[in-house]
Amino acid sequence: MITSHIYCGITMDKFTVLSMFITFVTSNDVLKFIPHDKSTQNTKPIQWTPPGFCNGLDCPPFIVGNETDEYQERFYAQSTWVSTELLGIDYDKAQYKMFMKLFKYIEGGNKKKMKIAMTCPVTTRIIPGQGAACKSNFTMSFFIAGKVKNPPGPSEDDVRLRPQPALHVYVRSFGGYVHHFDEWREEAEKLIAALEKDGREFEREYYYTAGYNAPFQLFNRHNEIWFIAK
Ligand SMILES: *[C@@H]1O[C@H](CO)[C@@H](O)[C@H](O)[C@H]1NC(C)=O
Ligand SMILES: *[C@@H]1O[C@H](CO)[C@@H](O)[C@H](O)[C@H]1NC(C)=O
């Protein structure tokens, strides 16, 4: 399809891309005029400077542990996410459905009809082959920035707000467009091999894909695979 666009491996139509573009641009603090306010200067005890790959969007704070050419160990603080779950065979189709549900939530499809700025990454936890007929259990999540003090309850039953306890993860980063699930799986296999080589203990039952970019961003795209450290 020539008119379709890809986001985090999700193919979508022009209208969706346009509304996402608006959400991303209005979410992007770099593009906004931020008045200097001395009174707020000492309110944050820890200064978190998001890495460049967060593109000026809010993303969850982490501390880097061990690093190799193949992966980075990260310690994420506890945080809040909005999630939806789906049992399915096809990752790409599942991504599209789940993305639309979460996107609707931040676009005001919630109990307070509140618009919430887009953040990154968009993560999907994959538990392979858990359901009948080898269906995988997918959970997609959007990070809720700490500055959103009382995130509104979702208006759909299959969307939920979820506290995420602190995470200890091994992360493999790679660039470019991810067009098919096979590309994510190949990166996951590379990460498994690197972790095994170094004798790292990690949770093998599931892993995460993490996408950081909107479809209209052509360059400097950033994607990650996460395994939970044990
Ligand atoms: C880095 O790896 C070494 C060797 O496996 C380990 O002893 C150390 O605790 C790790 N550092 C962190 C911050 O986890
Ligand atoms: C997906 O996996 C989670 C964690 O194991 C579980 O709580 C949930 O019930 C599963 N969802 C479905 C639809 O099986």
Number of domains the chain contains: 1
Residue 31: what pLDDT? 41
Residue with tokens 């985090």: 8
Share of the chain above pLDDT 70, in %: 79
Check pLDDT > 90 for residue 102: yes
Check pLDDT > 90 for residue 207: yes
What is the number of the ligand 2 atom nearest to the C-alpha of 87?
13
Check pLDDT > 70 for residue 182: yes
pTM of the predicted model, to two decimals? 0.82
Exposure b/e, 30-67, CB count within 10 A at least 16 = b? eeeeeeeeeeeeeeeeeeeebeebbbebbbbbbeeeee
Residue 6: what pLDDT? 43
Distance (Å) from CA 208 to ligand 2 centroid: 15
Residue 34: what pLDDT? 37
As a whole number of angstroms, the distance between CA 115 and CA 106 comes to: 5
pLDDT one-digit tens code per residue, 142-153? 999 999 999 999
Distance (Å) from CA 117 to ligand 1 centroid: 36
What is the average pLDDT across 147-160? 96
Grade residue 33 by pLDDT with cuts at 50, 70 and 90. Answer: very low
Domain coverage including residue 74? 4-228
The CATH number given to whatever domain includes residue 12 is 3.20.80.10
What is the number of the ligand 2 atom nearest to the C-alpha of 86?
13
What is the average pLDDT across 28-39? 41
Grade residue 23 by pLDDT with cuts at 50, 70 and 90. Answer: low
Q: Whose CA is nearest to atom 13 of ligand 2?
A: 87
pLDDT one-digit tens code per residue, 61-91? 999 999 999 999 999 999 999 999 999 999 9
Query: Taking Cα atoms as reference points, which of 196, 131, 119 lies closest to residue 164?
Result: 119
Per the prediction, the chain carries an average pLDDT of 85
Q: In this predicted model, which residue has the larger pLDDT, 73 or 47?
A: 73
Distance (Å) from CA 83 to ligand 2 centroid: 12
As a whole number of angstroms, the distance between CA 59 and CA 221 comes to: 15
Is the Cβ–Cβ distance between 203 and 227 less than 8 Å? yes
- Closest ligand to residue 64's CA: 1
Query: Taking Cα atoms as reference points, which of 177, 176, 85 lies closest to residue 123?
Result: 85
The H or E element that residue 99 is part of is helix 91-106
As a whole number of angstroms, the distance between CA 61 and CA 65 comes to: 13
DSSP secondary structure letters along 138-180: EEEEEEEPTT--SPPPBSSTTEEEEEE--EEEEEEEE-S---S
Q: State residue 220 phi and psi, 5-degree precision.
A: 55, 40
Query: Taking Cα atoms as reference points, which of 152, 122, 95, 131 lies closest to residue 221?
Result: 122
What is the average pLDDT across 4-8? 43
20: which DSSP letter?
H
Check pLDDT > 90 for residue 230: yes
Q: In this predicted model, which residue has the larger pLDDT, 130 or 79?
A: 79
Cβ of residue 66 lying under 6 Å from some atom of ligand 1: yes
Grade residue 166 by pLDDT with cuts at 50, 70 and 90. Answer: very high
Cβ of residue 85 lying under 6 Å from some atom of ligand 2: yes
